Chains A and B, each alone.
Chain A
Amino acid sequence: MVVATSPLAQLEGVQVDTPLTEAKALLSRAACQARTRQKAPGKSSSPAVPPGATPHTVNPAGDPFFRIFQHVPQEDREALQALACEMDSYSPIVGLQTGTAQPDCIFLDITGLDALFGGENSLANQVVQFCRSLGYLVRIGVAHTIGFAQALAQHATNQNSSQVILPRQDCQSPEISRDNPAFRELPVECLRLSHHTTETLFQLGIFRIGQLLAIPRRELFSRFGNEVHHRLDQMSGEIEEPIQACPRPREFHAEQLLDHPTNHRETIEVILERLITKICQQLKSSQQGGLQWTLRLYGQHRLPVKLQVRLFAPTALPDQVTQLARMQLEQLLQPERNGKTRKRSSSSDPTCKMNGNRRWIRLDGKPLDIHEITVTVTSSVLLENRQRQLFDENPRADKQALAHLINRLSGRLGHRNVVVPSMVSGNQPEQAYQLKPLVHSGRRQHSKTFLPAHSSHALSRPVRMYHPPRPVEVVTLSPGNPTTENDHRIPSARSHSPVLLTVENRRLKVVRHWGPERIETGWWRGSLVRRDYWKVETGSNQQFWVYFDLRKRCWFLHGEF
């Protein structure tokens, strides 16, 4: 199910709650049309290409114009919390929407603050611009209660504007609020009632708050209890509803300003080490360990160079973090190797180079004179201390050593290249598992474990599988009817077993085969997959896994045993 869409995808008909299969079909069709328009003479650009999506990028659905990502609610929540933390420059009290597992609102108490920002309009504008700079599109509602403000942001009729501000004279008292047409025209969904109550109101034909207000309170109470009244009073300001401020994690931050900007690498490394040690002392004193560290090198007249050190397990040991920070710096300054540009730099400027002796930091061939260095722990958790056993401790059970290894591997190879597999449900062999980065914020979530359908046969699946499957020429032989080499496109593979494979221009005679094993996927998986798999043994006794695609009518080599 689709949980969020881009405006461009909405234009193509993809809405929230659209089934994923349907969304993929709509987007594929749109992409086909866009490609046709691109190929048409005189039309070089396509309106279907979203900004930032390049035609060579391919999404999991195989479409180059749209990308589909898996929805991870935990990550959404974490991103919202991070945004709320960033908002503290606009209000001392910032809180998230409560009463829901998936909040999508941030509340700011701006009582008496508008004068500091030049009025409510100006403040709202600044917040919108700030969020836009972080890549978020937001809508802002300003009112005297959080319920009303949320309703204005989410349900106001003027959806084209990024901000809806209730005039002060319309909210001087609860009674005035209730008489306000903007209040009365709001839908009942914005009262934050339970699903059951909202459904009942719909069944009764009550869709607007004005309709609710027309019903005597006693009758509403007898039918719905106190819920509707309570929410109405909260929204109008009859009952006070405070903002529950987000608990701000303690910030661990250290910085150093340099009197004389330098690009000497050793100097910078020494400063980094000193700052990291300082933060580690702060962490230790609060029994915490840093999970994510951000290092910023501010150069003159440049964007800051940002290095991120993500850890598998929290640590407050300066040596470990310094080592990883040095590794990041090394990668940032890695020269071009054999004409290929290194891609793993996390800098805002990926074309970083360094001169031959690696003693001086240079970017774009110019020295990067750094005048300020900051180190911040952006994610920290309580350290778990475990008493070590004196004797007979299995060294392979050392979690700290394992965490250190994963940190180093992820630091050098990139956290996306150090992964852990898990099984998922599905018959399609390449979709029967998924890989997740080990250094990842959501890694502690335990997902449901799926048992593979083929667990009864230890060797029914190859140890090596090709991504994607390689097209292969196969000659088949149906009983009593030998075919020629060109007749490999057969109407039905079930009665035809392979007798000759051509792999990498080498002809391999099939001396034994096992199968076919029919693998089909359900319609809900998107594009239908229907394959007949054969395990074949060649004349040199090598075993391969080939399949006949019943839809494409051709053979593929999929793995080796």
Chain B
Amino acid sequence: MRSLHSPVDLQTEAPAARDPDLQTIQQLRGQIRQVETGRRNDDGSIVSSGCQAVDELLPANGYNRGTIVEWISGRGSGSDFLSLLAAKNAAAEGGGVVIVDPRGEFYPPAARAIGLKLSNLIILRSSEQGPVQRLSPHQSQPLEAEDLCWAMDQSLRSPAIAAVWGTLPELDSAHEERTWLRRFQLSAESSGCLGLFNRSPRQSGSSWSEVQWQVTPQPSTNNQRRIHMKLARCQGGIAGQSIDLEVNMSTGNVQPHEPNRSKPAHSLPLAAQLANPAPRRRSARA
């Protein structure tokens, strides 16, 4: 008897036409999917992750609008870049991008370099953080987690917003977190907005996301940053798949890592070569 809980096996099975069990399973999966996504108010368009190889791991060949996508990673691991890349693609056909930035750490020039249009961004942050113009310091208003969750929910509910990007705030209890996450999912479904959330490994308990990535940084080469992405959760897809990505630090291009690919003779830009002077290279060889 074939186990229904091992979706990995399905890929190695014979074609569905020859296997009535598989046909039934696929039919059931389709029905479940229809029930799950019946309320979704998306226009059927798919948002690319920014890398074709990553898209191919997902059942819809990209992210469905009206869903939540999560990246679980530590600091400085490159997940912010990948999630902002998805936000850029989500906003390509119009709509604003809401940035939820409770700690005031989001750096707009970096988002602009990735390709996001700054005039389309709406940043929610505590005004005591960062260079807010025309504000007198004594008028600062620190935001609380509940306010931020409310704001995220309202933004996800708005049809004028293409994506909501941010870090999930620290909530008092796991129950509260579960409740808010469920609300986020329902709000995103009702509007077709894409929720792109970065979570720390500590927060990775409950989730209502359709896709959840675990991001682990890998050793970089000179001008290529390597990132390992594992599909921790994927509704309608196969969890557990992983991919190694290479991000070109100059162009921002993302492509799958190919260990045996030959490198060009002089891949380093001039500035990087100058930064790594010859005496050090000689001493390293010695």
What is the interface of chain A, defined by CB distance below 8 A to chain B? 54, 57-60, 67, 69-70, 72, 337, 343-344, 394-399, 401-402, 404-406, 408-409, 412-414, 416-423, 429-438, 440, 452, 454-467, 479-480, 511-512, 514-516, 537-538, 540-544, 559-561
A434: chain B residues at CB < 8 Å are 131-133
Q: Does B252 contact A (CB under 8 A)?
A: yes
* 8 residue pairs, one from A and one from B, having the closest CB atoms: A458-B252, A396-B95, A542-B76, A421-B108, A541-B217, A402-B160, A560-B76, A463-B80
Residues facing A in B132-147 (CB within 8 A) are 132-144, 147
Q: B162 touching A423 by the CB < 8 A rule?
A: no
- Closest approach, in angstroms, between the C-beta of B153 and any C-beta of chain A? 11
**A–B pairs, 22, beta carbons within 8 Å:** A394-B93, A394-B95, A396-B94, A399-B160, A405-B154, A416-B141, A417-B127, A419-B122, A420-B122, A423-B118, A430-B130, A430-B131, A452-B113, A459-B113, A463-B107, A479-B280, A512-B220, A542-B77, A543-B76, A543-B220, A559-B107, A560-B80
Q: A457 touching B129 by the CB < 8 A rule?
A: no
Residue of B nearest to A494 (CB): B275
- Closest approach, in angstroms, between the C-beta of B108 and any C-beta of chain A? 4
A406: chain B residues at CB < 8 Å are 122
- Closest approach, in angstroms, between the C-beta of B17 and any C-beta of chain A? 37
Q: B108 touching A417 by the CB < 8 A rule?
A: no
Interface of A is mostly: mixed
Q: Which of B123, B162, B283 has the most CB of A within 10 A?
A: B123
For this complex, into which size category does the number of interface residues on chain B fall?
Answer: 35 or more
Residue of A nearest to B135 (CB): A416
Q: Does B192 contact A (CB under 8 A)?
A: yes
Q: B143 touching A417 by the CB < 8 A rule?
A: yes
Q: Does B28 contact A (CB under 8 A)?
A: no
CA–CA, A434 and B76, complex, Å:
24
- Closest approach, in angstroms, between the C-beta of B34 and any C-beta of chain A? 22
Interface string of B260-286 (1 = CB under 8 A from A): 000000000000100100011001000
CA–CA, A452 and B155, complex, Å:
29
B226: chain A residues at CB < 8 Å are 541
CA–CA, A289 and B226, complex, Å:
53
Q: Does B58 contact A (CB under 8 A)?
A: no
- Closest approach, in angstroms, between the C-beta of B159 and any C-beta of chain A? 4
CA–CA, A437 and B125, complex, Å:
11
B248: chain A residues at CB < 8 Å are 458
A402-B158 in contact given A458-B113, A540-B217, A542-B75 (Cβ < 8 Å): yes
Q: B80 touching A464 by the CB < 8 A rule?
A: yes
Q: B137 touching A58 by the CB < 8 A rule?
A: yes
A418 in complex: contacting residue of B93, B124, B135, CB < 8 Å: B124
- Closest approach, in angstroms, between the C-beta of A161 and any C-beta of chain B? 31
